[in-house]
Amino acid sequence: MDDMQEILEDFLIEAFELIEQLDQDLVELENNPEDLELLNSIFRVAHTIKGSSSFLNLDVLTELTHHMEDVLNKARKSEITLTPQIMDTVLESIDLMKALLFSVRDTGNDNNADINIAPTCAKLDAISKGEDIKESSEEKEETKPQEEELQEDYSDMSDEDVEAEIERLLQEKRDEKKKKKQAKSNEITEENQKKEKEQSSNKPKDFQKKKIQPKENTAPVKKSSSSTLEQTIRVEVKRLDHLMNLIGELVLGKNRLLKIYDDVEERYEGEKFLEELNQVVSSVSLVTTDLQIAVMKTRMLPVAKVFNKFPRMVRDLSRELHKNIDLKISGEETELDKSIIEEIGDPLVHIIRNSCDHGIEDPKDREKAGKPENGTIELKAYNEGNAIVIEIVDDGKGLDTNMLVEKSLEKGIITEREADNMSEKEIFSLIFKPGFSTASSVTNVSGRGVGMDVVKTNIEKLNGIIDIDSELGKGTIIRLKIPLTLAIIQALLVGTQEEYFAIPLSSVLETVRVPAEDIYSIEGKDVLRLREEILPLVRLSDVFDIEEVFDSGENLYIVVIALADSKLGVVVDTLVGQEEIVIKSLGDYLKGIKGIAGATIRGDGRVTLIIDVGALMELARDTKSGIKKLSNKEELGSVKKDTKDYQVLIVDDSKTDRTIMQKALKPLGISITEATNGVEALQLIKSSDTNFNAILIDIEMPRMDGYTLAGEIRKYSRYKYLPLIAVTSRTSKSDRMRGVEVGMTEYITKPYSLEYLANVVKKNLKLPME
């Protein structure tokens, strides 16, 4: 049983590969009907699939391919010429074949699908019979095998017999059902069946033996096709994913190593071993990067995988729409990560359908406009930095901005007011709005207004960017820029208040630093005029509701991000730099938080959240801006009535010192809190609800010293004027200077008298002096 399963899987993989080739070949064949080489290769595909499927007892599939093979065989022998009508039927049967294969893949067999092959088979038969040479050709094959491909034809024959037998049985069954419904097609099939019966009655003897033959027959065919391919092995995608995960861990390790090296370098500057360490670190980091690239490459597939289906699609569309459209494909060898390949298929289908339907004009209109009768759609792919660009260029009528605005107003997608303020690009991007359609009636091809919306969602999912250029009467260019891979990305690390975030670099257009005065406010939203564009702005801390603790300075850092068709300026407090990060999920419990795409572990072991640019843009729309309104909050500290309301924090690692200070301050009757080091003190200051009115700080403390603590405290806008009193035994001038630099208000040296300390505190608290 397992053996069969394995064979079936192999068969499916092979069949899908063959079919992909088939579509392309057939379209090409239509242009060069005389190309015998092409015809032969198409015939071989049909034949191989037939052979394998009969071996696997896939009867419906076998029957269909058998009929196809008949027609193709005749064409191969120039007994019929392939007219577009015949091609339509052949293509139709290939579609059926695909559907059947999908059903085999999903359900394991082909007979429970809702796929009716009878009409197509009848058509195929009619074609091969239409020439009225069926009988004779049959004989020809039997009696005098062709000079070339003698082997193949011979095996053909035995195949057909097997097929015929199976078919006969199938047909019988089907006929019974059909008798009630379809009298017409019945006649054809019955006639057909008679012939088949005759045929099969010739050699119904060695049934068993022949059944094995098709498999043997496929072997030489397979070999000849594979010898032209590169040497490859098939690997489960799961294994590659696992490998990628491991490499992700390695990249994190590398980042960490680099960070540690930096620290060590600072500490042991000039030491000899540093050089050796440097060598090791850089070679590890180099190899890791190479390894990562190598594994990424193994996951890459040429975009041809997706592009291949378009010649067929454009051909069908042009027949359906009665237009003449040439599709030119270039750069199909450009490679992309497998997971991305799977995602870009749908968007491209929609864009190309759109170009065919709305872009390219009718031949008559084209003639009037002085354009060549045949419209051209170009599909290009090329690499650009860490991304791949796919361009869809048509030479059709272009996008009419006035019409776009009109239609959008009509459908209520935008308001008059919005329409007045829209730039050309913004108008172009209206075509991506859900519900938008320029077609006056819904056709088979388009007009439902969902297609382009799909494009936008899918491209956004990939963190891609869409750019549209169009000139009325000349044509339209749609450019998709998509990052090469999804698992490991380059990111820009930014800080807002005390927190850090990573923004995928593929979505970052630029970063700018502007003075706060340059920001304008329109209807309560902040905007920046950046070169000739008006850029909406949003504060990252507002989007994520991060508590405002630091003052941002005079200048603002703005990260300009773009996604699909829109742009946004994100205001941050610091730009940390660019880093390679590995995307990790936040797990089941936290997944799906709006605006967060995942998390990564930084060099220092901390977790940094990765921003979901698409969701951020959405969130930004609902965020009330506050760049202007910030700061100038009420000066803290309401009027104190009682001395007890005054809060003083003592930070000292020595218990004795703390007790002495307590003792000195006790007569003042104020409330006192203690902390044993800088870290603890900072935590208290940050978290507690009480606002301290003064802080006494020892300089030498474990974990965080007094200078650092003072510096940290001063970062908070609400503690800008908080009295910080250094109490220390360090008496040198440079120490005092440093104290002033970090923002100490007073500097008391030990030893001190209790009264002096009390007075200093009193003065700073503005308590009445005695």
Partner 1 sequence: MSEKLQSILQKQQKQQEESMQKKSEEIMQLVGFIIGDEELAVPILNIQEIIKPIEYTKVPSVPDYVLGVFNLRGSILPLIDLRRKFGLSSILQTEDTRYIVIKAENSEAGFVIDKLTQAIRIKQDDIEMPPVTFHKEEDSSNLISAIGKMEESIVTILNVNALLKRDF
The residue ranges that bind partner 1 (CB under 8 A) are: 249, 252, 499, 543-546, 584-590, 593-596, 599, 601, 605-609, 683-684, 687
Query: Residue 588 Cβ, how far from partner 1 at the closest point, in Å?
Result: 5
Q: How far apart are CA 549 and CA 482, in angstroms?
A: 37
Contact assessment for residue 203 and residue 165, using Cβ atoms and an 8 Å cutoff: no
Nearer to partner 1, 169 or 607 (CB): 607
Query: Residue 609 Cβ, how far from partner 1 at the closest point, in Å?
Result: 7
Query: Residue 467 Cβ, how far from partner 1 at the closest point, in Å?
Result: 30
493 SS3 class: strand
- Per-residue tokens: 608: 């940094």
Q: How far apart are CA 384 and CA 464, in angstroms?
A: 13
Nearer to partner 1, 368 or 594 (CB): 594
- DSSP letters for 301-354: EETHHHHTHHHHHHHHHHHHHT--EEEEEE-TT-EEEHHHHHHHHHHHHHHHHH
Nearer to partner 1, 201 or 683 (CB): 683
**CA proximity to 437, closest of 318, 321, 354, 317:** 354
Nearer to partner 1, 370 or 587 (CB): 587
Residues facing residue 731 across a β-bridge:
none
Contact assessment for residue 33 and residue 69, using Cβ atoms and an 8 Å cutoff: no
* 354 counts as catalytic: yes
Query: Residue 681 Cβ, how far from partner 1 at the closest point, in Å?
Result: 12
* 69 counts as catalytic: yes
* 149 counts as catalytic: no
- Per-residue tokens: 326: 């040439």
Query: Residue 584 Cβ, how far from partner 1 at the closest point, in Å?
Result: 5
Q: How far apart are CA 676 and CA 697, in angstroms?
A: 10
What's 362's DSSP letter?
P
What are the residues whose beta carbons fall under 8 Å from the beta carbon of 70, sequence distance 6 or more? 124, 125, 128
β-sheet with 555-563: strand ranges across: 508-515, 555-563, 566-572, 533-539, 525-530, 519-522
Number of Cβ atoms within 10 Å of the Cβ of 191: 12
Q: Which among 30, 47, 73, 343 is annotated as catalytic? A: 47
Contact assessment for residue 340 and residue 462, using Cβ atoms and an 8 Å cutoff: yes
The pairing of beta strand 488-496 with beta strand 574-582: antiparallel
Q: Which among 354, 463, 693, 764 is annotated as catalytic? A: 354
Nearer to partner 1, 544 or 646 (CB): 544
In which residue are the tokens 């009298």 written?
Answer: 183
Q: Which among 63, 69, 361, 391 is annotated as catalytic? A: 69
**184-202 helix and 134-143 helix, angle to the nearest 10 degrees:** 20
- Per-residue tokens: 534: 């008006």
In which residue are the tokens 């699909």 written?
Answer: 564
Query: Residue 254 Cβ, how far from partner 1 at the closest point, in Å?
Result: 13
Residues facing residue 559 across a β-bridge:
511, 570
In which residue are the tokens 């003449």 written?
Answer: 324
- Per-residue tokens: 691: 């606002």
Q: How far apart are CA 100 and CA 59, in angstroms?
A: 11
Q: How far apart are CA 255 and CA 580, in angstroms?
A: 8
Question: Mind telling me the catalytic residues?
Answer: 47, 69, 354
